[in-house]
Chain A
Amino acid sequence: MSTSKMNPLEARPLPSQVVKDDEPILVAAAKGGDISAFETLVGRYERKIFRLAQNITQNREDAEDVLQEAFLKAYEHLGEFQGNSRFYTWLVRIAVNQALMKLRKRRPNQVSLDEEIDTGEELMPREVEDWGPSPEERYQQTELSGILSSVISDLDPSFRIVFQLRDIEDLSTEETAEALGLSIPAVKSRLLRARLKLRQKLNRYFRRSENS
């Protein structure tokens, strides 16, 4: 029987919220030197860590480096993992640190997460049109992936990373703040802007009038 959390909005577990029951057993085995247990963890999370790295760095080569460095560091520091959080949350923190280092190296003057950002933009949504139920079902999976990847890559990095951690990787607001060295109000402010911007960008694909 799965012990996954239920999403109150949809009454079904979201993929990122499904915690495999055997994760603590695999981590304990890997800590004890069982290499195949660690390889199972790698196989379970490699796609998500690669997507995370790509979304942060926006560069395939950097994302591949981050993927390797994150798993190598996780293996090297496995003894320090206390089990106070999920293994995946711990792994995400390692990957985010690696990805931010890459990003800052590539664009040293453009990436600052710790400054309060005042874009001067009005928060009030300009386009208000209903999407109808299950708008994503109008697109094929690969087409939908392309749309999501394109709209998220347009976001300012400081909004994109917060949205990625909070809404895609399912970290809590506190975990996101800790991973990025931000205050909780700063995380909430960036998350609100990111959600509204993405909503606006997706509006052109999902609004009812687009398909009527």
Chain B
Amino acid sequence: MNCRSIVKELTNYLDEALDSTLKASIEKHLEHCEDCRVVVDTTKKTIQIFCNSEPAPLPEDTRTRLREALERRLRRVRA
């Protein structure tokens, strides 16, 4: 296992989609490769930061137009 193979398998490793043998070889490499540890850690943080980010509140005018569009449709359904 070398640094290039670590990057190639990074997504499967972070998504826990590897078999135990490959996972163990990656972790063995990470034990002694500082650069790969940093890449794995900062990529994991990248995902976490995006995943944890809350969407901004809906602009008021956008919400109003959405409600009006729904109301028009619902009125047609009721009629």
Q: Mark A136-149, 1 if CB is under 8 A from B, else 0.
A: 10000100110010
Q: Which residues of chain A come closer than 8 Å to B35, judged between CB atoms?
A: 128
Question: B28 near A: Cβ within 8 Å?
Answer: no
Whether the pair B73, A195 counts as a contact (CB closer than 8 A) is: no
Interface residues of B in 1-41 (CB under 8 A from A): 3-4, 7-8, 10-12, 14-17, 35, 38-39, 41
* A189 and chain B: residue at smallest CB distance: B11
Q: Which residues of chain A come closer than 8 Å to B56, judged between CB atoms?
A: 47, 51, 145
Q: Which residues of chain B come closer than 8 Å to A42, judged between CB atoms?
A: 66, 70
Nearest-neighbour CB distance to chain B for A134, whole angstroms, equals: 9
Specify which of B3, B14, B55, B70 lies most central, judged by the most chain A CB atoms within 10 Å of its CB.
B55
Question: A35 near B: Cβ within 8 Å?
Answer: yes
Given A8-B16, A130-B41, is A47 in contact with B58 using a C-beta cutoff of 8 Å? yes
Q: How far is the CA of A202 from the CA of B66 in the complex (A)?
A: 34
Q: How far is the CA of A19 from the CA of B63 in the complex (A)?
A: 23
**A128: contacting residue among B4, B11, B39, CB under 8 A:** B39
Q: Which residues of chain A come closer than 8 Å to B46, judged between CB atoms?
A: 195, 198-199, 202
Q: How far is the CA of A167 from the CA of B15 in the complex (A)?
A: 10
Whether the pair A71, B50 counts as a contact (CB closer than 8 A) is: no
Q: Which residues of chain A come closer than 8 Å to B39, judged between CB atoms?
A: 125, 128, 199
Given A67-B62, A123-B7, A188-B11, is A50 in contact with B49 using a C-beta cutoff of 8 Å? no
Nearest-neighbour CB distance to chain A for B5, whole angstroms, equals: 11
Question: B60 near A: Cβ within 8 Å?
Answer: no
Q: Which residues of chain A come closer than 8 Å to B4, judged between CB atoms?
A: 124
Q: How far is the CA of A51 from the CA of B17 in the complex (A)?
A: 28
Q: How far is the CA of A148 from the CA of B57 in the complex (A)?
A: 16
**A64: contacting residue among B16, B55, B62, B70, CB under 8 A:** B62
* A205 and chain B: residue at smallest CB distance: B49
**B38: contacting residue among A130, A144, A195, CB under 8 A:** A130
Question: A72 near B: Cβ within 8 Å?
Answer: yes
Given A123-B7, A131-B42, is A71 in contact with B66 using a C-beta cutoff of 8 Å? yes
Q: How far is the CA of A72 from the CA of B16 in the complex (A)?
A: 37
Whether the pair A130, B51 counts as a contact (CB closer than 8 A) is: no
Q: Mark A191-212, 1 if CB is under 8 A from B, else 0.
A: 1100110110011001000000
**A15: contacting residue among B38, B51, B73, CB under 8 A:** B51
Nearest-neighbour CB distance to chain B for A172, whole angstroms, equals: 9
7 cross-chain CB contacts under 8 A: A46-B66, A128-B39, A129-B42, A130-B42, A135-B45, A168-B53, A202-B49
A-B interface, 10 closest residue pairs, ranked by CB to CB distance from nearest = A51-B55, A47-B55, A192-B11, A199-B46, A68-B69, A128-B35, A199-B43, A14-B51, A136-B49, A167-B47
